[in-house]
């Protein structure tokens, strides 16, 4: 009987192995003790051997993935090309620092431009800046600085860039381990910033002559819209991670309140992790559900807005940094090579899974 089962299993594996993508059959494990039932899913590997990937972009059928080590990886029909990025300043070597946020210009097919957020050091300290990159051949170069000298530290850089449905560039910044700056409207730290694509301040920003769109954040790393409504993910202090509905000019409380604590004039999150740690990063949305890649949570976590519930829908792949929805698939990247994970010999990877399998 055991021999027959072994033969049948071998036949199944041979049949399932015929694919344009490498497939991994995983039985996800809920490492956070959630009550939700997570079903086995078939997850495909689109690309591997990535170096601490941070942001996923796609135009037509081609992916552009930023790597914290300072490269952009172009992935076209399974073929990888690591493109050089020439920056004016050398990347900082602090934990969590490097080439972080990266988003293609809406006119990228014609102008070959993108926006990037990176951490650098000079004789005066460590800072983050937002720049325009231009692609020529297979090399990106820093063309223009849009915003500079965002104070930085060993941790809490923020770093997510997204272009909203209003055509504006949104930028998340961390508190750079100085919590009180999150409440200071004169500081760029602990904020979600909003700018025109030319770097100017939009006239309809909530504070006069200021990039600040919302404040009181600790280390926000994910942005996504459903319609015109903006949501953001945020790392809490020793758990109490958050998913927030972002309102222009609103104060999200850090470091005065966290989790479900309340105070007049401050917002409480839609979801928060309590005593558990998710460390949510990049976000995507589909059919009224938010999806967040989580680092400490080692999962793609689903947030069902209508039912106000949350549960992991894929786990078992280690630390996850960004997530992207396109058509019928959800794509995401692991971050096991960031110095805090347990990488295998082919990490890091870009994965995809059918959205219909996320039940």
Pick the catalytic residue: 134, 156, 157, 286? 156
Distances in Å between the Cα of 275 and the Cα atoms of 66, 145, 206, 301, 309 are 32, 40, 33, 16, 17
Q: Which residues of 230-242 are buried (b: 16+ CB within 10 A; e: fewer)?
A: bbbbbbbeebbbb
Residue pair 216/187 in contact (Cβ under 8 Å)? The answer is no
Q: Residue 10 contacts by C-beta under 8 Å, 6 or more apart in sequence?
A: none
Cα–Cα distance between 199 and 131 in angstroms, integer? 9
Q: Is 157 a catalytic residue?
A: no
Cα–Cα distance between 313 and 327 in angstroms, integer? 18
Helix/strand/coil for 354: strand
Cα–Cα distance between 149 and 132 in angstroms, integer? 15
Cα–Cα distance between 64 and 308 in angstroms, integer? 33
Which are the catalytic amino acids?
Answer: 156
């Amino acid at each position: 009987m055991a021999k027959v089962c072994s033969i049948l299993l071998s036949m199944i594996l041979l049949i399932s192995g015929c694919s344009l993508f490498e497939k991994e059959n995983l039985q996800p494990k809920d490492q956070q003790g959630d009550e939700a039932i997570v079903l086995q899913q078939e997850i495909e590997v689109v690309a591997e051997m990535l170096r601490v990937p941070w942001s996923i972009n796609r135009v037509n059928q081609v992916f552009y993935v930023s790597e914290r080590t300072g490269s952009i990886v172009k992935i076209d029909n399974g073929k990888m090309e690591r493109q050089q990025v020439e920056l004016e300043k050398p990347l900082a070597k602090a934990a969590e620092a490097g080439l972080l946020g990266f988003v293609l210009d809406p006119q990228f097919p014609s102008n070959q431009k993108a926006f990037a957020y990176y951490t650098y050091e000079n004789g005066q300290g460590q800072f983050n800046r937002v720049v325009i990159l231009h692609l020529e051949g297979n090399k990106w170069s820093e063309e223009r600085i849009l915003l500079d000298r965002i104070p930085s530290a060993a941790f809490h850089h923020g770093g997510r860039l997204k272009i909203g449905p209003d055509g504006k560039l949104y930028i998340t910044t961390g508190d750079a381990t100085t919590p009180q700056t999150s409440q200071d409207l004169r500081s760029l730290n602990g904020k979600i910033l909003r700018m025109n694509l030319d770097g100017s301040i939009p006239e309809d920003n909530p504070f006069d002559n200021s990039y600040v769109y919302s404040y009181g954040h600790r280390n926000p790393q994910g942005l996504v819209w459903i319609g015109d409504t903006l949501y953001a993910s945020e790392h809490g202090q020793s758990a109490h991670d958050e998913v927030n509905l972002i309102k222009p000019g609103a104060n999200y409380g850090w470091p005065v309140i966290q989790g479900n604590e309340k105070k007049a004039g401050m917002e409480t999150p839609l979801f928060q992790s309590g005593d558990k740690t998710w460390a949510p990063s990049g976000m995507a949305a589909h059919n009224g559900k938010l999806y967040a890649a989580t680092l400490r949570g080692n999962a793609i976590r689903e947030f069902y807005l209508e039912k106000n519930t949350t549960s992991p829908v894929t786990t078992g792949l280690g630390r996850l940094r960004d997530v992207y929805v396109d058509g019928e698939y959800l794509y995401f990247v692991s971050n096991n090579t960031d110095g805090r994970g347990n990488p295998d010999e082919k990490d890091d990877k870009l994965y995809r899974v059918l959205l219909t399998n996320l039940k």
